[in-house]
Chain A
Amino acid sequence: MKKYITDFTIIEKHIFNENYFSLTLQHPQHLPEIEAGQFVEVYIPDNKEVLLRRPISIHDVDRDANTIKLLIQKVGKGTSTLASMHEGDILNLVYPLGHGFSQQGNNPLLVGGGAGIAPLLYLSKCLKAKGITPTILLGGRTEKLIPSREEFKPFGTLALATEDGSIGEKGLVTQHPLFQGSYDHIYTCGPTPMMKAVARYAMAKGIPCEVSLENLMACGIGACLCCVVDSDQGHKCVCKEGPVFNANQLTTWINN
């Protein structure tokens, strides 16, 4: 899939809370083909402490409005700079990067945690467009760590789990009653321990499972070889050969 470097305009900034915000970015022309699960590398402007671009999942795509939405967690200098930007500002993106989700399965389960819910919104939208209604299970330590959850509602059966019980079932996503339903495909993105638990369960049940990884990255296009995961076939670049991997390619990683 062809990659581009393009200036986008921030047309909407939404602040969920002190941890999360979203930016809706408009392309000057029609957007190229983008898969659910792909990501962008965002140039961080006007911050001398930040050298490298930041990889951020594509949260949503609106082909009619030519917009990409990013859900961003404030974690460091790069994302804090993005949080200080305003509607009308320009952001330069290298995109769309990596391989997305396969969109297989007629009765799929989507499991997201924290910022990892980001790529699952566009995935659920794409599945819905194919006539598939996914079960969407989102979790976080507390209610405010599951931002943008309302946006998932039109695209599937939404269920929530929080460790403090502030919304949804109290506990981990893997303890939610809906987790053990009969699904034919599982997609997961979120904290590493959560993804490993989900993948171990799926593999034990023989359900095809795809995990979306987030490693520290420099280039985002498979040139620097910094973001590798120790797959069953050796080191693989998360940026180029991922970020979505079949769980059965990562059995060592999952079981460690």
Chain B
Amino acid sequence: MLQTKIHNLVLKNPVMTASGTFGYGEEFADFIDLNRLGAIIVKGTTGERRQGNPYPRMAETPAGMLNAVGLQNVGVETFCNEVYHRIKHLDTNVIVNVSGSSIEEYCKTAAMIDALDNIPAIELNISCPNVKKGGMGFGTDPAMAAQVVSEVRKIYHKTLIVKLTPNVTSVVEIAKAVEAAGADSVSLINTLLGMAIDVERQRPCLSTITGGLSGPAVKPIAVRMVWQVAHAVKIPVIGLGGIGSAADALEFLMAGARAVQVGTANFIDPTVTMKIIDGLGDYCNRHGIKDINEIIGII
């Protein structure tokens, strides 16, 4: 009833976890059955180990939070040699979010992940707002976005999802560019560039001054962008941004998302993904829906 597809990926249900909010999944194993998830998208992975930005990296804002973690991660080699072997047996789609500062770095990482049997897809992160080089720089210009996607496409043979930034004049233009360059799916939105100031200390709340806004505050923007992109591209769209309930997830599905990702809400309730999956099933039962795909894109 809840099964859905993203390119060649079959998802048990449309609920995925958003990169950077779910670690490698293991962090949540005490709280939920990871195998019930449609997919797990693990922490953004780069060509080399990264330390990320200095503390403080987080600030709570009304109905949201700013972060400036800056892609702290173990690097692709440690991921392949160590982390992968701990999570490869999970009975769900484990997807690696691939980030970088150069096309070469994206390609190196994607090629190493391509060789891992139990990773059926990557999510190419051309939208991280918290790194000085690369990241969002690739995602804000249609030509650069197309270039990095087409280079990765040459060496990556499985499902290629491209994660888009909302910090652009036209997200539709970027989505069309990456579709033309060979993306199998797009996911959106990454965080919105934001800023907060501690007025008592007269200093920015984040060490990097600006950071990425996530949480319920961004949801209406995300739903609007998903709706715009879903009407403009033929490849499946994955929606995220402020999802914390089944009703939130349904908004994205009705706006045209074939699947959704849950991010910040995992921090508030580590079991929230299970509640959303159950809630989607209840909704279908209540409305006599036999297949969740019946409601995808009805708006």
Contact = CB atoms under 8 A, between A and B. Distances in A.
Contacts of A235: 51-52, 55, 72
Contacts of B62: 49
Contacts of A15: none
A53 B72 contact: no
A94 B270 contact: yes
B57 A234 contact: no
A5 B270 contact: yes
A61 to B, nearest CB: 19
B56 interface: yes
Contact of A216 (B52, B58, B267): B58
Kindly name the residue among B22, B60, B72, B266 whose own CB sees the greatest number of chain A CB atoms within 10 A: B60
Given A51-B63, A51-B65, A223 B57 contact: no
B110 to A, nearest CB: 22
Nearest to B57: A226
B23 interface: yes
Given A51-B65, A51-B268, A225 B52 contact: yes
B220 interface: no
Given A51-B65, A224-B21, A230-B54, A219 B30 contact: no
Interface residues of B, number: 34
Contacts, number: 93
Secondary structure class of chain B's binding surface, majority of residues: loop
Q: How large is the interface on A (under 10, 10 to 19, 20 to 34, 35 or more residues)?
A: 20 to 34
A221 B24 CA distance: 12
Contact of A224 (B30, B55, B69, B269): B69
Secondary structure class of chain A's binding surface, majority of residues: loop
A223 B18 CA distance: 11
A230 B207 CA distance: 13
A140 to B, nearest CB: 21
B74 to A, nearest CB: 10
B297 interface: no
B128 to A, nearest CB: 13
Interface string A23-59: 0000000000000000000010000111111000000
B114 to A, nearest CB: 26
Interface string B96-113: 000000000000000000
Contacts of B20: 224-225
A191 to B, nearest CB: 15
Contacts of A172: none
Contacts of A225: 20, 43, 52, 57, 69, 72
23 contacts: A3-B31, A4-B31, A43-B268, A51-B60, A51-B268, A215-B55, A216-B59, A217-B58, A218-B264, A221-B27, A222-B27, A223-B22, A225-B52, A226-B56, A226-B58, A226-B67, A228-B55, A229-B55, A230-B55, A235-B51, A235-B52, A235-B72, A240-B27
Given A221-B27, A222-B27, 17 more contacts: A4-B30, A5-B270, A43-B269, A51-B215, A51-B216, A94-B31, A215-B55, A216-B59, A217-B58, A218-B65, A219-B27, A219-B267, A222-B23, A223-B23, A224-B58, A227-B58, A228-B72
10 nearest A-B residue pairs (beta carbon): A226-B58, A223-B23, A219-B267, A3-B30, A218-B267, A223-B27, A221-B27, A226-B57, A225-B69, A225-B72
